[in-house]
Amino acid sequence: MTKTLYRAPWIVAYQDGSHTLLENGCLVVEDDRIAFVGRHYEGEVDQEVKTRSIITPGLISTHAHMNESPIDKTIVEDANKRQFWSSSLIEILPPRASAMTDEDKEHCVDLSLATHLLTGTTTVMQMGEVSEYVVEAADRTGIRAYIAESYRSGRWLTRDGRRVEYEWFDDDGKKAMDAAAGLVRNIHERGNERLRGWLNPSQVDTCSEALLRESMELSQELDVPISIHAAQSLTEFVEMTRRNGRTPIEWLDDVGFLNDRVILGHALFLSGTPWVNFAGDDLGLIARSGASVSYNAWTFGRNGINMFSYDKYLKAGVNVCLGTDSDMQSMLESLRWTAVLGKIAERRSDGARADQAFNSATIDAANYLGRPDLGRISEGAKADLLFWNNDSPSMTPSRDPIKSIVYYAQPEDLRDVMVSGEYVVRDREVRGVDIERSVAAVKDAGRRVWSTWPEYDWGSRTIDEHIPLSYPRFA
């Protein structure tokens, strides 16, 4: 057993049910856990480290698609998606996904893992494809990961750029669901405490009632969390009300899918919000059900879509967590945009605060997972720690380290990352990832996706025709 004492100018320590700011304090890491946090420690240790860092708990991303997200860069921004109310889901993401090979997705996983770790994520909840590779890569890097192979009853598409259509699978997604359950069992049989499985029936509008009911039974049988994308676009909202006369959230409740095992991906297009002219109490329904929400502020904010509002969700009693979703896959950006966009939505400087965003990224996410040993620095908790540079231009001076991190920290201010007592990032070197190789491979994947765009676009447009460059090409 190894015991290390860290002394630091600031430690975000957990006390009496809340984060607190411990100035000039110390903490002791013994193997994979925190053995002590406080002002003074007089016991024996194997080594002592005096650091100038701000030490915080690691951040938890409750919504990630690591197998594809890097390719989204310079495709989804500034695009004219008026017909689908600014959502990139219908016209942009399907061609990109269709053009990617499994090898492309694996390279994206490696780069995504590095990006998550370099921006403060110590626990990531991944949903997508090539999941066996994700398991291996997560093990290699040392990150804590919940991994789900996504499945659904059908898919959406457009044949004319004006209407959304649905194609349904003959087996209602049952084979894919069984494979996803098999993945969960295989992960748990590995016996690695950092790796867990969970379930992801993909989207509320692409899953049948039967598939969702079976998914909930599986979640209970396997004793794992479960997530679904719901209320993530106006096209989805309109489709679900057309089918059922019920909002997406109401329909999920009708079919027995809302409970405290569930985290809803996005949940932005709710009844009673400015996005929809539809009466109802979706927010209250979510709160009463005990389901959580994963808010991905940056991904939607860049498309002009915001939560109305973060403050109202919290006041309604909804457990709001944060995610990284599409690129940039940065919990640092998620923290910042949650706070900033929350202020804009409420038109108040305190409409969303740094401490609330930090809670969503730590304690609240850990509570959803039923993990009182994550998201906090307290005796017995896992030693998932971030070491932030307290002396950089962006972090100086730091009267309040949480405000400094949420509003001013840059990725390079995060120097070291620890998961279960082991350094997985040391002086910004990521364990288990050749970043230079991954960058080159993802560049190649991007070029292939761009060049083959007409093969998968409904109108056979080139990518420049579909999504124009910021400026014309030099003649």
Are 123 and 129 in contact by the 8 Å Cβ rule? The answer is no
Residues of the chain with CATH 3.20.20.140: 59-369
CATH numeric code, 59-369: 3.20.20.140
Q: Is the peptide bond before 397 cis (omega within 30 degrees of 0)?
A: yes
Residue with tokens 């699978």: 169
Residue 295 near residue 321 (C-beta atoms within 8 A): yes
Residues 281 and 318: beta-carbon distance below 8 Å? no
Q: How far apart are CA 59 and CA 385, in angstroms?
A: 9
**Cα dist from 121 to 178, 362, 402, 409, whole Å:** 29, 10, 16, 15
Indicate where the chain has its CATH 2.30.40.10 domain(s). 3-57+378-430
Query: Which of the 8 DSSP states describes residue 201?
Result: B
Give me the residue label for tokens 């400087």: 349
Q: Assign domain 3-57+378-430 to its CATH superfamily.
A: Urease, subunit C, domain 1 (2.30.40.10)
- For the sheet with 226-230, list strands across it: 226-230, 262-266, 292-295, 319-322
Whether the CB-CB separation of 83 and 36 falls below 8 Å is answered with no
Q: Which residues, 6+ apart, have CB-to-CB distance to 347 below 8 Å?
A: none
CB 446 within 8 Å of CB 71: yes
Q: Measure the CA–CA gap between 45 and 7, rounded to whole angstroms.
A: 13
Give the pLDDT of the chain (475 residues) as one tens digit per residue: 799 999 999 999 999 999 999 999 999 999 999 999 999 999 999 999 999 999 999 999 999 999 999 999 999 999 888 999 899 999 998 899 999 999 999 999 999 999 999 999 999 999 999 999 999 999 999 999 999 999 999 999 999 999 999 999 999 999 999 999 999 999 999 999 999 999 999 999 999 999 999 999 999 999 999 999 999 999 999 999 999 999 999 999 999 999 999 999 999 999 999 999 999 999 999 999 999 999 999 999 999 999 999 999 999 999 999 999 999 999 999 999 999 999 999 999 999 999 999 999 999 999 999 999 999 999 999 999 999 999 999 999 999 999 999 999 999 999 999 999 999 999 999 999 999 999 999 999 999 999 999 999 999 999 999 999 999 999 9
Contacts of 238 (CB under 8 A, 6+ apart): none
